[in-house]
A = this chain, B = another copy of it.
Amino acid sequence: MSELSKTPKPPYYAVIFTSLRTAGDNGYGETAQKIDELAKEQIGYLGVKSAREDLGITVSYWKDLESIRKRHENAEHRLAQMKGYEIWYKSFKVRICRVERDYEFER
């Protein structure tokens, strides 16, 4: 089930990022793509899924808290974060979670 993120057996970690954007793109699309590509190269990265209507939800999956911490230390990620605060987001909330159980269905 690659489309819904192939993740290993729990426990692993999820970062739930919920956001409301400001108007206009302001370079967001390009940076978001770059940041996603960087994440894929990082140790402990397990996948990411996004959807946006008014509200945007992005969930990224990680092997452990250490991988999440390292991702946040990445220079380009920090720069994107700054632009997030300054330009792109009206508001956001980040939740760092331990996935304890999962199950799936495929037709």
Contacts and interface: CB of A to CB of B under 8 A. Distances in A.
A106 B91 contact: yes
Contact of A97 (B3, B100, B107): B100
What range describes how many residues of A lie at the interface? 35 or more
**Interface of chain A: mostly helix, strand, loop or mixed:** strand
Interface in A74-92: 84-85, 89-92
Contact of A55 (B16, B51, B85, B92): B51
A62 to B, nearest CB: 12
Nearest to A1: B91
Interface of A: 1, 3-5, 7, 10, 14, 16, 18-20, 22, 49-53, 55-57, 59, 84-85, 89-107
